[in-house]
Every structure is written in structure tokens, then in C-alpha cells.
Amino acid sequence: MAVIAEYGTLLLVLACIFGVFMAWGVGANDVANAMGTSVGSRALTIKQAIVIAMIFEFLGAYLAGGEVTSTIRKGIIDPEILSDDPQLLVFGMMSALLAAGIWLLVASLRGWPVSTTHSIVGAIVGFAAVGVGVDAVDWGRVGSIVASWVVSPVLAGAIAYGLFRSVQALILDSDDPFVRAKRYIPFYMFAVGFLISMVTLIKGLKHVFEDIGVEVGMWEASGYSAVVGLLVAGIGIAMLSRIHERDIPQSGNRFAGVERVFAVLMIFTACAMAFAHGSNDVANAVGPLAAVYSVVSSGGLVGEQAIMPSWILLLGALGIVAGLATYGYRVIATIGKKITELTPSRGFAAELGAAATVVFASGTGLPISTTHTLVGAVLGVGLARGIGALNLGVIGTIFMSWIITLPAGAGLAIIFFYLFRTVF
């Protein structure tokens, strides 16, 4: 308690700096998960992708990031064990933020698409198990998180596979794919609008509705979301009406017109994926920061519940935006171009499948890895065209970088934990 009373303000300032640094790493590395398919399929330029990501990553992080944040904050470590030594929790969370941030910086500079969730969870488990005690870790919760790293790419891959197979059946394999594309794409647009509206109403704006005394149930949210989906579909129809097959340069590719139409759709799916990514991955940076704030502001109390101040979410959102605007482009090429050849129709299926998985995870509080989710979705799209469509060498390299991430985060966190404990 004495450490918190004497150095509380300094510790909170350092935690804020480390939290923004970690959020910068999330933006610099994980922007590929939101925008890699759009750029790889040439539906968006790199500049357009970054502008879209800056807007929707921020909105996702600020509006819908609170639910999964609670899992990172109090789901991995048993708070009762640290109730007598709150400074250990503060040192540990600071160490985890700094360790994960440094690893993400290294990975981003080398263009490795690593998991930010792996980085922070590995760092938290590392400092807690070694610096505090094995009993301090809620291994049951850690097990469910580890299981989600397997489930999320499989689920995203299955959804993306099904979406692309539906595109093949309804559009690509028809006699006139261009006409069929303009007929069926509005339905996919409706799905995008409905999906993002649901998570925003049920989870993202939940605290806003509670503050004004309004209760929005599942049925009400479904009705509002249906209206939003129809609006998005209407906008899409208006945009599609301006695309005519006669205006598209004939390159000998009978699908050229179809891909032009899907490129329009990719704008919507890119927004959806950026929103979903921001809502889920902001927790990796602001969750530990919220734990530090809770302990310092309460004078050393380690509780089960803690209020999430809006300024903490704002810090995380700004950090993500800064990261993707400065170094995000380095990792985009790996997911967008090297796993499998992407076209707008394939990129759409991958992005929407990944967005559905990440939004579901954010709404249920499960801190999945968006890296695993997006790679799983891209693999699903590739498998829809056969195993030969996948670059197995690149996939192997990506898997190896995932394996290295856990021990790297844990090892660095242990070092910093002992350093902070010695200094303070």
C-alpha cells in the first residue's frame, strides 16, 4: 500500500505511456488484419485503406471496446491473491504492456503478422506465474483463451469458405456473372450493415443506453439493425447502378466486371472489419492500463470490478490510429498478397467472415486473436479453390512467428517485472 500511496501518480503516468505504446503496436501490426485483404485484392489503395481504418478502428475501439476489456483486465489473474500486495499487480501490468509493445515493435519492423493477443496474454501469464506465483493465474480462463485461438481461425475459415462458395454458386459459375453480381451483392451488403449495427447497439452503446435509462433488447436491436442493413444495401444499389459492363475495359477476363462490383462491396467489408478489429484489440492495450488505474485510484484496493473511464478507451483508440498510420503498411503485404492470390470477391468473403468472428468475440468478451481469425478466413477462401492455391511456405512462417510470440512476451515481462519491483 505504501508504494501505491507514494508513487501512485508516477506509476499511472508510466502505465499510460506504456499503454499508448502497446496500442501503437496493435495499430502498426494488426492493421494488416483489417486492411490486408482490401489492399491485396486491389480494391483499395494503401492510402485509402489507412484513412478508412483510422476512422473505423477508432470508432470500434471507443464505442465497442469495453466488453472484451473486462476479460483482459480481471479474467486472467485471480485478484484475491494480490489483494495484500496491490503494487505487484501494478508492476505486472506495466511490465506486460511494455514487453508486448516492444515485441510488437520488433515484429512490425520485420513485417511479421504476430498476434497482439498472444503478446499481452503471454506477458501477463509470464509475470504472474514467475513473479507472483502459479496460483495467481486463473488457468481455467487461460485455457478458454487458448482454446479460442484454435476455434477462431476454424470458425472464421468456415464462414469465409461458405461465403465464397455461395459467391461461386450464385455469381461466378453463372452464364452472366456481371448481371448476377448486381442482383445478389446487395444481400451481402445488407449482412454487413446488419452485423455491425447489432454489435454497436447491443455492446458498443450499452453503457450509453444505461446512462439515459433506455433498455435495448435483442429484438429491438434486430429491428434497428435491419433498417441499417437496408440503408447500406440501398447505398450499395445506388453505387452499383453507376457501374456498367460496357464501361469496364475488356481484358479477356469474363469476371472483370464482377470483380469491379465486388470492389465496391469491399469498401463496406473493410469498414466492418476495421470496426470489429478495433472493438476487440483495443483491450490488449487498455485492459492492463485499466487495472493499474483501478488500483491507483482506489488507493491500493484490488477489486473484481472496476469502472472503465472513457479517457482510457480514448488513449487506446488514438494509439491504434497512430500505429497504423505510421508503420501499418509494413505488415499489410504479408496477409494481403503472400498467403493466396486475392481478388475483390475472395477478399470480400475473407473480410466478412473474419469480421463476423471478431464482432462475435467482442460481444461475448472472448479475447481472440484477429491475426488468427484473418489468416483462418484467408485460408478458408484459398481452400475453396483447392490446396494448390495456398502458399504453404508463407503459412509455415506465419505459424512459426505465432509460436515465438508467447515466450517472447512472457520472457520480456518477467525481466521488466523484476526491474520495476527493484526500482520501486
- What is the 3 state secondary structure string of 279-335? HHHCHHHHHHHHHHHHHHHCCCCCCCCCCCCHHHHHHHHHHHHHHHHHCCHHHHHHH
Of 421 and 305, which is predicted with more confidence? 421
φ/ψ of residue 340, rounded to 5? -155, 160
**Average pLDDT over every residue of 187-193:** 87
Section 174-182 average pLDDT = 82
Lowest mean pLDDT among 105-109, 337-341, 414-418: 337-341
Q: Where are the domains of the chain?
A: 2-176+278-423
Which residue did the predictor score with more confidence, 22 or 201? 22
pTM above 0.85, yes or no: no
pLDDT grade, residue 38 (50/70/90)?
confident
pLDDT of residue 215: 75
The residue-averaged pLDDT of 189-212 equals: 72
CB 358 within 8 A of CB 18: no
Task: Determine the pLDDT at residue 231.
Answer: 93
203 confidence band (pLDDT: 50, 70, 90): low
- What is the three-class DSSP state of 45? coil
pLDDT at position 227, please?
A: 94
